[in-house]
Structure 1
Amino acid sequence: MSKQPPKTFMGHPRGLLTLSLTEFWERFSYYGMRTILIYYIYYAVSEGGLGFDKPTALSIMSIYGSLVYLASTIGGFVSDRLLGPRKTVFWGGVLIMFGHIVLALPLAATGLFVSIALIVLGTGLLKPNVSEMVGDLYAPEDIRRDSGFSIFVMGINFGSLLAPLIVAWVQDKVNFHAGFSLAAIGMFIGLIYYVWSGKKTINPIDNLAPDPLRPEELRPLLKKVGLGLAALVIVLAAMAGLHGLTIENVILLITIIAVAVPVVYFVMMLTSPKVTKIERSRVWAYVPLFIAAVIFWAIEEQGSAVLATFANTQVRLNIGSFHILPGWFQMLNPFFILVYGPLFALLWVRLGKRQPSSPKKFVYGLIFTALSYLVMVAPVALFGPYEKVSPLWLVLSWAIVEVAEMLISPVGLSVTTKLAPKAFSSQMMSMWFLADAAGQAVNAQIVRWYTPQTEIAYFAVIAIVTAVFAVVLWLLSPRIEKLMAGVN
């Protein structure tokens, strides 16, 4: 009797469907919350918000996003050394669900900060390991890998597309807390499906930690954690003693940490005896790609802060009798990914070995990233900072930056799994999310400069810096390709 071939999903391993739907619900919960969070932070208390000033709200929004991805270092370690990817993802989802539940309760600023702590830790456990498990579905030489990651990114963006539409509407018709409650429900549904479907479709290798912690390593680890916590307490105590324990200074401290952590990780991997010579060369190749990703995410992630504020204050929201909710503009990001996703997935498969190298894809992505912010200079230059402008300007900006995302995000996920040293597989995936963390940490400082009076300079300077680095990366591409040692 012949053995039945394994079931597939669009020509890919069935596990791709399981992991894509898990991320669908995680992204529904996360982006549903983010759709209305910036407004919740700076709206007046009488409007149901917390009443923070706009610069502080923008900075909190950015550092929140940075912390979410910074925590991926914890998720990578827990997965690699303790629980394995599958269990780590589950417990991350549980923490995320409880974080949204807290935000759904009327607990004012206290609820905001407790929710941040829970969602930050939960997303750090979940997100890098889901992506790592997608990589584990394919053999290293499988040419479907880039296409699979494109489908993965496209699939999870359905959740990101639906969330702003539904959550913003519920917030508008009821209140902020009702909107946040939908995020908790979404994560709960995702957990149920992950447990049920994952038993049959996830690669069994993901049940085990690839580099389990040995008993003799436990005491040194606890010592390092204790010293780290003690140093943090001392720094915070010193700030309090100097009357500097403010939200702004805490955000600055987190910014410094978010930029320093990836540097430490690179040093650790490059000096580890567990990393071979070829693996070390590939890590060096990853460094300039990482910097490019930091720049891209710094701009792309401003959509939920700077562009969200622009949408609320400087865009005409009434088209005849139809009123556009400002949160609905957050649908543009996933909408264009869903439009572009199939095209890019097909493009990479059709091109096969003739497709551009990963460094060249990053160069093209940065060029589009710069153009997306140059577009935002035009409406302010034409109509001034206080005149309401057409919503089509925001549509155009997002349409351009999402081309960049399709060139950088799925390709970056794929190349990270291919360049990762074996002993640091999940932790290397954490490095990809640390690029987002560093980008948003930088945002937490620069978004304070965004005001109606500085808009032209703000958008133009960021665009120029991005274009300059794109040229530098293009010049370095041949050297990077050589360091990648056979990986495209």
Structure 2
Amino acid sequence: MKNYSREDIVNSVPQKGFFGHPKGLFTLFFTEFWERFSYYGMRALLLFYMYSEVVDGGLGMEDGTAKSIMAVYGSLVYMSGIIGGWIADRLLGTQRSIFYGGVLIMAGHIVLALPAGVTALFISMFLIILGTGLLKPNVSSIVGDMYHEQDNRRDAGFSIFYMGINMGAFIAPFIVGTLGQKYNYHLGFGMAAIGMLLGLIVFLITRKKNLALAGTQVPNPLVGDEKKKVFKRFGLGALLLIILGFITIPTGILTVNSFTVLISLLGIIIPTAYFIVMYRSKKTNEVEKSRLLAYIPLFITSVIFWAIYEQGAIILADYAHKRTELSIFGIELHSSWFQSLSPLFVITLAPVFAALWIKLGDRQPSTTRKFSFGLFFAGLSFIIMIAPALMYGTEALVHPIWLTLSFLLAVIGELCLSPVGLSATTKLAPKAFSAQTMSLWFLSNAAAQALNAQLVKLYHPSTEVIYFGAIGGFAILISVLLFMSAPKIQKYMMGVK
């Protein structure tokens, strides 16, 4: 295959056609829109499906187990992005990785739409984890490939793309959630499969004309003996996992609970190993080592933040289902609808925060202090959930305003931390490990959800005040310590603001 320069790739993409941006942004916007529709629609139902009684169309799992599975599922989805990025870089290229990822995701939703019990659940999860790992990081990669390096439309293009993500996540619970809760869970999961099918259709019909050469190259392809060695290792690894499964599952060594513990440990071990390897590498100079040390408290803050934020789909979803009044002003609500609040607030507030940082200019808070603000609001989103328990008890149904406020505070925290974290990662990353440091940033979410796999087991209405108070209070304490440590951390950043 011919090697094209970045200039060749950008020039092959029609540069006008989607709100003044390259036409390929249309393709990627709607591919990601429908992929997020399918994922967040499925996620809005999954917890309820797992712990609902069999007679009500669910699987009848124990509550704590269902919540742990949700957390592990989210963790593995983020971990799989590392594998998906490697496959795109070495084997398939980003365009083909996106297509095969979409096919796997759709297949996963189809399997979940079948009334085949727990077996179908785990097969579906496996397919969606692999598919999301192939699709999600590579869609974002192609967005960047369509712009010249100095093109001042780039940031705006990513903002439009980000809106597609949140629009898909916003409408999904209303459609998929309503079908699943009002009629049948499997019907809802089937709708998620249709959503991914629509995304694939958009991608296939428009990619040749709109994306042209973007994403068609394999940047660092495996060649000759290298390819044989890699496939051999993959094959041996897969065979080993199958053998271990045959031995440990029937003997009761590998259970759902022991698997969640294993993933929780991996969520901590993998990013720790990343830091050690990068810090000790001869390719990392003294300035980069200092910046890497400054990045560690930001990473830990991110893990604590996402541990709270991602419980919106687990603990707060459970709260919506069991503890929230779902009939307001004569309108009947579905508990799955609350999963639309976060993307709604992101769509509404993201432009406000972008304008705020621009207006403040050099007077805006440092990266470290923005992180501390983000974690503070996340902690506050849990602290506020103590109030209804103290006011009405833990058995009474409470007004939806409490959940709405909690989601709002968490999103304010997200907008202080998440975009800033992406920017800080690119600035603090050692040059030889720039791509891997970005993978490390996404692993903060994987580590958070791996941690949640153990935390969520502790939640119960009887422990509600202690649960929300302890986690929220700990987050606020760390945010205050981070705020106070900001000047010292800034010194380690060696000139990076």
| TM-score of the superposed pair, with normalisation by structure 1 | 0.89
5 Å-filtered alignment, 1:157-172, equals 157-172=166-181
* Kept after mapping to 1: 8 A contact 2:386/2:464: yes
Mapped to 1, the partners of 2:73 and 2:318 lie a distance apart of 16
**Match status 1:181 vs 2:181:** no
Mapped to 1, the partners of 2:223 and 2:494 lie a distance apart of 32
Shift of residue 52 of structure 1? Answer: 0.5
5 Å-filtered alignment, 1:308-387, equals 308-352=317-361, 354-387=363-396
5 Å-filtered alignment, 1:257-336, equals 257-272=266-281, 282-336=291-345
Shift of residue 67 of structure 1? Answer: 1.2
Q: Structure 1 residues 141, 295: CA separation in 2 closer, same or farther (over 3 Å shift)? A: farther
Tell me the amino acid that sits aligned with residue 287 of structure 1: I
Residues 23-63 of structure 1: CA deviation (Å, up to 9, x unaligned)? 21111000000111111101111100011111111111111
Give the total of aligned pairs. 486
**Match status 1:40 vs 2:49:** yes
Mapped to 1, the partners of 2:26 and 2:90 lie a distance apart of 27
Q: Structure 1 residues 60, 40: CA separation in 2 closer, same or farther (over 3 Å shift)? A: same
**Match status 1:56 vs 2:65:** yes
Mapped to 2, the partners of 1:241 and 1:169 lie a distance apart of 38
SS at match of 2:347: helix
Shift of residue 431 of structure 1? Answer: 2.3
**Match status 1:434 vs 2:438:** no
Q: Structure 1 residues 234, 68: CA separation in 2 closer, same or farther (over 3 Å shift)? A: same
Tell me the amino acid that sits aligned with residue 395 of structure 2: Y
Shift of residue 15 of structure 1? Answer: 4.4
Q: Structure 1 residues 92, 403: CA separation in 2 closer, same or farther (over 3 Å shift)? A: same
Mapped to 1, the partners of 2:313 and 2:71 lie a distance apart of 9
Q: Which residue number in structure 1 is paired with residue 261 of structure 2?
A: 252
Mapped to 2, the partners of 1:415 and 1:198 lie a distance apart of 32
Shift of residue 169 of structure 1? Answer: 1.5
* Residue ranges of structure 2 left out of the alignment (5+ in a row): 1-10
Tell me the amino acid that sits aligned with residue 371 of structure 1: L
**Match status 1:22 vs 2:31:** yes
Mapped to 2, the partners of 1:94 and 1:420 lie a distance apart of 34
Mapped to 1, the partners of 2:43 and 2:57 lie a distance apart of 16
**Match status 1:66 vs 2:48:** no
**Match status 1:471 vs 2:480:** yes
5 Å-filtered alignment, 1:392-403, equals 392-403=401-412
* Kept after mapping to 1: 8 A contact 2:146/2:214: no
Q: Which residue number in structure 2 is paired with residue 85 of structure 1?
A: 94
With a CA cutoff of 8 Å and minimum separation of 6, indicate the structure with the bigger relative contact order. 1
Mapped to 1, the partners of 2:343 and 2:376 lie a distance apart of 20
Mapped to 2, the partners of 1:412 and 1:351 lie a distance apart of 18
Mapped to 2, the partners of 1:480 and 1:16 lie a distance apart of 38
Mapped to 2, the partners of 1:208 and 1:485 lie a distance apart of 36
Mapped to 2, the partners of 1:137 and 1:392 lie a distance apart of 43
Mapped to 1, the partners of 2:282 and 2:229 lie a distance apart of 18
* Kept after mapping to 2: 8 A contact 1:80/1:424: no
1:128 to 134, 137, 159: 137
Shift of residue 361 of structure 1? Answer: 2.2
Residues 413-445 of structure 1: CA deviation (Å, up to 9, x unaligned)? 344445555665554433232211111111111
Shift of residue 282 of structure 1? Answer: 4.8
Mapped to 1, the partners of 2:113 and 2:250 lie a distance apart of 34
Tell me the amino acid that sits aligned with residue 194 of structure 1: F
5 Å-filtered alignment, 1:225-236, equals 225=234, 232=241
Higher deviation after alignment, 272-281 or 129-138:
272-281
Tell me the amino acid that sits aligned with residue 115 of structure 1: S
Tell me the amino acid that sits aligned with residue 399 of structure 1: L
Q: Structure 1 residues 240, 174: CA separation in 2 closer, same or farther (over 3 Å shift)? A: closer
Identity %: 50
Tell me the amino acid that sits aligned with residue 317 of structure 2: A
Shift of residue 213 of structure 1? Answer: 3.4
SS at match of 1:71: helix
Q: Structure 1 residues 140, 227: CA separation in 2 closer, same or farther (over 3 Å shift)? A: same
Residues 159-211 of structure 1: CA deviation (Å, up to 9, x unaligned)? 11110001122123321111011111111111222344444555956433433
* Kept after mapping to 2: 8 A contact 1:147/1:348: no
Mapped to 1, the partners of 2:17 and 2:87 lie a distance apart of 30
**Match status 1:108 vs 2:117:** yes
Q: Structure 1 residues 134, 294: CA separation in 2 closer, same or farther (over 3 Å shift)? A: farther
Mapped to 2, the partners of 1:111 and 1:184 lie a distance apart of 14
Residues 58-114 of structure 1: CA deviation (Å, up to 9, x unaligned)? 111111111111111211211232223332222211111111111111111111010
Mapped to 2, the partners of 1:126 and 1:276 lie a distance apart of 34
Q: Structure 1 residues 381, 394: CA separation in 2 closer, same or farther (over 3 Å shift)? A: same
**Match status 1:243 vs 2:252:** yes
* Kept after mapping to 2: 8 A contact 1:80/1:426: no
Mapped to 1, the partners of 2:202 and 2:286 lie a distance apart of 41
Q: Structure 1 residues 461, 137: CA separation in 2 closer, same or farther (over 3 Å shift)? A: farther
Mapped to 2, the partners of 1:274 and 1:91 lie a distance apart of 35
Shift of residue 123 of structure 1? Answer: 0.6
Tell me the amino acid that sits aligned with residue 74 of structure 1: I
Mapped to 2, the partners of 1:205 and 1:283 lie a distance apart of 32
**Match status 1:390 vs 2:415:** no
Tell me the amino acid that sits aligned with residue 35 of structure 1: A
